[in-house]
Amino acid sequence: MNSPIADLMESQLPMAEVRMDLGGFITHWNESAQAVFGYSTNEAVGQNILFLAPTGADGDDGSDADLGMPELHLGDGAPFIEVQRRTKTGDVIRIGLAMDVERGDDGMPESLVARFANLVKPLTTGQLHRLQARIVESSEQGILIVDGNERIVYVNRSFCRITGYRAHEAIGRTPDLLRSGQHDEDFRAQVRAAMSGQGPWSGEIIGKRRDGTFFPQSVTIGTVRDDEGQVTHAFSIFSDISEAKDYEKRIDRLRHFDELTGLPNDALFMQLLSQQCASVLRRKLQGALLLLGLDRVTAFREGMGDEAADELMRQVAHRLRATIRDEDTLARLRGDRLGLILPGMTRREEAARVAHKIEAALSDAIEVLGHSVRLQPRLGVALFPDDGAEATHLLRHAELARLRADSTGAPFLFFNPEMNHRVSQTLSIESGLRHALANQGLTLVYQPKASLRSGRISGAEALLRWVHPERGHIAPAEFVPVAEESGLILDLGQWVLEEAARQIRQWMDEGLTPPPIAINVSARQFDAGLPGRVSAALARQGLSPQALSVEITESLMVRGHDVVIPIMNDLVAHGIGIALDDFGTGYSSLAYLKRFPINTLKIDRSFVVGIPKGEHDCAIARAIVTMAKQLRQELVAEGVESVEQMAFLRELGCDHLQGYLFSQPLDAPTFAQWVREDRRLSLEQ
Instruction: List residues binding ligand C2E (CB under 6 A).
Output: 447, 463-464, 475-477, 480, 493, 496, 520, 522, 551, 581-582, 605, 638-641, 658-660, 665
- Residue 316 CB: number of other CB atoms within 10 A? 25
Query: Among residues 387 and 554, whose Cβ is nearest to Mg ion?
Result: 554
Q: Which stretch binds Mg ion (CB under 5 A): 201-209, 279-287, 301-309, 637-645?
A: 637-645
Distance CA 483, CA 496 (A): 13
Query: Among residues 311 and 638, whose Cβ is nearest to Mg ion?
Result: 638
Concatenating the DSSP letter of every residue in 186-255 gives HHHHHHHHHHTTSS-EEEEEEEE-TTS-EEEEEEEEEEEE-TTS-EEEEEEEEEE-HHHHHHHHHHHHHH
Query: Among residues 57 and 477, whose Cβ is nearest to Mg ion?
Result: 477
Distance CA 368, CA 311 (A): 7
Query: Among residues 84 and 447, whose Cβ is nearest to ligand C2E?
Result: 447
**Minimum CB–partner distance for residue 264 and ligand C2E (Å):** 39
Residue 639 interacting partner from Mg ion, ligand C2E, none (CB closer than 5 to 8 Å by kind): ligand C2E
Query: Among residues 272 and 646, whose Cβ is nearest to ligand C2E?
Result: 646
In the three-class reduction of DSSP (H, G, I as helix; E, B as strand; rest coil), residue 492 is classed as: helix
Residue 480 interacting partner from ligand C2E, Mg ion, none (CB closer than 5 to 8 Å by kind): ligand C2E
Q: What does DSSP say about strands 329-333 and 231-240: parallel, antiparallel, or unpaired? A: unpaired
Of 673, 680, 681, 683, nearest to 514 by C-alpha is 673
Q: Which stretch binds Mg ion (CB under 5 A): 114-122, 362-370, 395-403, 634-642?
A: 634-642
Of 636, 652, 634, 559, nearest to 603 by C-alpha is 636
Concatenating the DSSP letter of every residue in 319-344 gives HHHHHS-TTSEEEEETTTEEEEEEET
Q: What does DSSP say about strands 366-368 and 378-384: parallel, antiparallel, or unpaired? A: unpaired
**Minimum CB–partner distance for residue 585 and ligand C2E (Å):** 10
**Minimum CB–partner distance for residue 344 and Mg ion (Å):** 47
Query: Among residues 47 and 585, whose Cβ is nearest to Mg ion?
Result: 585
Q: Which of 399, 484, 581, 617 touches Mg ion (CB under 5 A)?
A: 581
Query: Among residues 122 and 476, whose Cβ is nearest to ligand C2E?
Result: 476
**Minimum CB–partner distance for residue 500 and ligand C2E (Å):** 9
Sheet holding 337-343, edge to edge: 329-333, 337-343, 287-293, 378-384, 412-414
Query: Among residues 156 and 549, whose Cβ is nearest to Mg ion?
Result: 549
Does 658 bind Mg ion (CB under 5 A)? Our answer is: no
The contact mask relative to Mg ion for 461-500 (x = CB under 5 A, - = no) is ----------------------------------------
Residue 522 interacting partner from ligand C2E, Mg ion, none (CB closer than 5 to 8 Å by kind): ligand C2E
Is the torsion defined by CA of 96, 102, 107, 110 positive or negative?
Answer: negative
Query: Among residues 354 and 557, whose Cβ is nearest to Mg ion?
Result: 557
Does 582 bind Mg ion (CB under 5 A)? Our answer is: yes
CA dihedral (466, 468, 495, 509) in degrees, to 10, reads -60
The 3-class SS string of 439-467 reads: CCCEEEEEEEEEECCCCEEEEEEEEEEEE
Distance CA 170, CA 174 (A): 8
Distance CA 180, CA 120 (A): 46
Query: Among residues 290 and 601, whose Cβ is nearest to ligand C2E?
Result: 601
**Minimum CB–partner distance for residue 684 and Mg ion (Å):** 27
**Minimum CB–partner distance for residue 431 and ligand C2E (Å):** 19
**Minimum CB–partner distance for residue 565 and Mg ion (Å):** 21
Does 100 bind Mg ion (CB under 5 A)? Our answer is: no
User: What are the CA-CA distances from residue 479 to residues 152, 242, 378, 489, 521 (Å)?
Assistant: 82, 60, 22, 10, 14
Sheet holding 142-147, edge to edge: 152-155, 142-147, 231-240, 214-225, 201-208
Does 520 bind Mg ion (CB under 5 A)? Our answer is: yes
Residue 665 interacting partner from Mg ion, ligand C2E, none (CB closer than 5 to 8 Å by kind): ligand C2E
Of 359, 354, 360, nearest to 289 by C-alpha is 354
- 566-571 contacts, C-beta under 8 A, 24 or more apart: 566/528, 567/526, 567/527, 567/528, 567/530, 567/531, 568/596, 568/597, 568/598, 569/597, 570/528, 570/531, 571/530, 571/531, 571/534, 571/597
**Minimum CB–partner distance for residue 660 and ligand C2E (Å):** 4
Query: Among residues 260 and 474, whose Cβ is nearest to ligand C2E?
Result: 474
Residue 660 interacting partner from Mg ion, ligand C2E, none (CB closer than 5 to 8 Å by kind): ligand C2E
The contact mask relative to Mg ion for 588-627 (x = CB under 5 A, - = no) is ----------------------------------------
User: What are the CA-CA distances from residue 673 to residues 457, 511, 513 (Å)?
Assistant: 12, 12, 12
Residue 309 interacting partner from Mg ion, ligand C2E, none (CB closer than 5 to 8 Å by kind): none
What is the length of the chain? 685
Q: Which of 551, 554, 617, 655 touches Mg ion (CB under 5 A)?
A: 551
Query: Among residues 415 and 526, whose Cβ is nearest to ligand C2E?
Result: 526
Residue 561 interacting partner from ligand C2E, Mg ion, none (CB closer than 5 to 8 Å by kind): none
Task: Name the residues that contact Mg ion, by CB under 5 A.
Answer: 520, 551, 581-582, 638
